[in-house]
Amino acid sequence: MSTYVVSDIHGCAQTFRRLLNVIGLKRIDDVLVIIGDVIDRGPDSRGVIEAIIQMQRDGFDIRPIRGNHEEMLLMAERTGVFEDLATWLENGGEATLKSYGVDHPKNVPVEHLEFLEGLPYYRMTGKYLFVHAGLDFSLDEPLSVAGRTEMLWTRSEKVIPSRIGGRTLLTGHTTKTLDEIRKSLTTKHILTDNGCHLGTGFTDGKGNLVAVNLDAGELIVQPNIDGAWLP
């Protein structure tokens, strides 16, 4: 059994499918944890969600988590407040609407909205804690409802392993170079976001979709084949 971790797919459906082919995920033995931001910026957010839902139906152990981009879409769909919609659109939401061929998140298929609503803010095993952005260790209980904003939005890399049962924290959200991600593999805070949406023309060791194989302690790196996001 192997556990793989991917984050910040950001609508890059072709790249995601290619990465899955490279991994060769096994239906019974393997786990894939997706640490948020499957939508926005890239050209096919709909395709990413469809791929995840279909793999779950086919019996693969896929465990997605909510990111700040999923939260922004849900807020725009729920509240009807123009500012919420505008914030989401400015952060790549327009690409998501285009992938569905609609002009408002309320028109996204109900099945996909329910999928997004059902995403947890974190997941945990005996050795690892998975969350999109990070944790607020100033709270008595970093995993409480009071800490949800930090789970989605923080840029802090602070980790106090004793506060999370000695577990290793895995996050996405903040784009890191491949070297930074590799160096993190032997620490108590493993980084996973290489900025796939930036595209392979980006010259700072970024622009790939990365899977971390937690059991082998190695990276599987798939260059972006969807094209860069141009806001």
Q: Rounded to an integer, what distance in angstroms lies between the CA atom of residue 10 and that of residue 33?
A: 15
Which pLDDT score, from 0 to 100, does residue 26 have?
A: 95
Residue 203 reports pLDDT greater than 80:
no
Percent of the chain with pLDDT over 70: 99
Domains belonging to the chain, first-starting first, are: 3-123+172-223 (3.60.21.10)
201 or 175: whose pLDDT is higher? 175
Q: What is the pLDDT of residues 54-104, one digit of tens each?
A: 999 999 999 999 999 999 999 999 998 999 999 999 999 999 999 999 999
Which pLDDT score, from 0 to 100, does residue 204 have?
A: 76
Query: SS3 sequence, the chain?
Result: CCEEEECCCCCCHHHHHHHHHHHCCCCCCCEEEECCCCCCCCCCHHHHHHHHHHHHHCCCEEEECCCHHHHHHHHHHHHCCHHHHHHHHHHHHHHHHHHHCCCCHHHCCHHHHHHHHCCCCEEECCCEEEECCCCCCCCCCCCCHHHHHHHHHCCCCCCCHHHHCCCEEEECCCCCCHHHHHHHCCCCEEECCCCHHHCCCCCCCCCEEEEEECCCCEEEEEECCCCCCCC
Contact 52, 38 (CB under 8 A): yes
Mean pLDDT across the chain: 96
Residue 133 reports pLDDT greater than 90:
yes
Which pLDDT score, from 0 to 100, does residue 216 have?
A: 96
Residue 201 reports pLDDT greater than 90:
no
Nearest one of 79, 186, 71, 188 to 127, comparing CA atoms:
188
For the full predicted model, state whether its pTM sits above 0.85: yes
Which pLDDT score, from 0 to 100, does residue 28 have?
A: 87
